Amino acid sequence: MADDMTTEGIIREQALQWAVRLGDPAFDDWDGFTLWLEADPRHAVAYDHIAAAVGEASEDLATATPANENPEEHHDVPAVRSGRRPVWLAGALAASLAAVAAIWVVQGSGRDLYTVETAFGQTEVVTLEPGTHVELAGGTAVQFDRKDERYARLQRGQALFTVKHNPAAPFKVDVADERLVDLGTVFDVRHDDEGLSVAVSEGTVQYDPEGVAVRISRGEILRREANGAAYTLTRIPEEQVGEWRAGRLTFDAASLSEVAAQLRRATGLDYVAAPGSASAVSGSILVGALRDDPATVGPLLGVTVRSEGRRWIIGSR
C-alpha cells in the first residue's frame, strides 16, 4: 500500500477511534482490535502515538488533581500492546480519552462509528438489518454507525452492498469526499490509491447528490481516478459486479498498479507493479491458483512476473 497522506490520515483516524473505544469499560471487541493491529504494521505505530499523546495529557491532569482526590480511584485504560493480549497501564487517562472522544463525536456529527476491517486475502460479511448486508473484500475498512443502520463509510478497499430499499430512509455510503445514495440496489464500491469505482448490478445509485448528482444504473460502472475530478460512466456486464466473492477478477484496460492492488486484496500476496510500468491489461482470472503459484498470473494476463523475497513484481512484456 502506498504511503500517501490519505492512507496515513485514515490510519490515524482509526487509531483514535480504537483509543476512544478501548477507554470504555464495556469494551469487549479484543478480537477486532487485534485483527486491526495485525493487518498493517503502521496500525500499531499509529496507536502507540495516540496512546502516548493521551498519556501526556493525563500527566497534566494528574498535576491538577485536587489534594482530597484519590488518584487510585481513576479507571485503568489501555496502553500500547505488542501481542494478542492488551497491556494495561494504570493512570488517570480516562478523562483524557473522554476529551478525545468528545472531539471525535463532534467531528463525526454525533455518529457512533465502529470499524470493520479485513486483512489482505480475507473477506467478511456484515449484516446491518434484514435484507441489508455488506461484503468486504480483502484489505478493506468500512465504518458503520451503531445509531444508523442505513449508513456506511468506505475508508479503503472494496465492498459489495446489498441494500433493502426504503425510500423514507435511503442508504448512504460516504467514500473519500463524496457520497453515494442507494435507490434500491446491489452495488460494488472500490476506493484505493488508484481512485474510485462504483458498479451497479441491481437498481440505481446516485453519485455525489449535492454536486453532479450522477445516476449509476444497472449494468453501469462509474470510475474516477485518484486526485481527479473527472469521471467516466460506462457499461459493465452485470455478472462482473462483485465477482471477487467467487474468486474471479476481470480487468479491462487496467493499469498494472491497479492489477497489483486487486491481486493483493484478493490473495493476500504482496503483488506490486514494476516501476514505470504503463501498460494496460485486459483479461479474467481465477485467483485460487495464484496462492499455490503466484507466478501463474504471468501467462494468464500476459505480464512478466519476478520475485523479490515475498514480493511479486509484475511488469510489461
User: Who contacts 229 (Cβ-Cβ below 8 Å, separation ≥6)?
Assistant: none
CATH 3.55.50.30 range(s) for the chain read 247-315
| CATH code for residues 247-315 | 3.55.50.30
- List pLDDT tens digits, range 123-177: 999 999 999 999 999 999 999 999 999 999 999 999 999 999 888 899 999 998 8
Instruction: Fill in the amino acid letter for 123.
Output: T
DSSP-assigned letters across all residues of 152-204: EEEEEEEEEEE----TTS--EEEETTEEEEESS-EEEEEEETTEEEEEEEESE
CA distances for 200 relative to 95, 184, 266, 286, angstroms: 46, 11, 20, 22
Q: Boundaries of CATH 2.60.120.1440 in the chain?
A: 114-240
Tens of pLDDT along 189-221?
999 998 999 999 999 999 998 888 999 999 999
57 vs 225: which has the higher pLDDT: 225
Q: Please state whether the predicted TM-score (pTM) of the whole model is above 0.85.
A: no
- Residue from 268, 264, 302 nearest 283 by CA: 302
CATH 3.40.50.1000 for domain 114-240: no
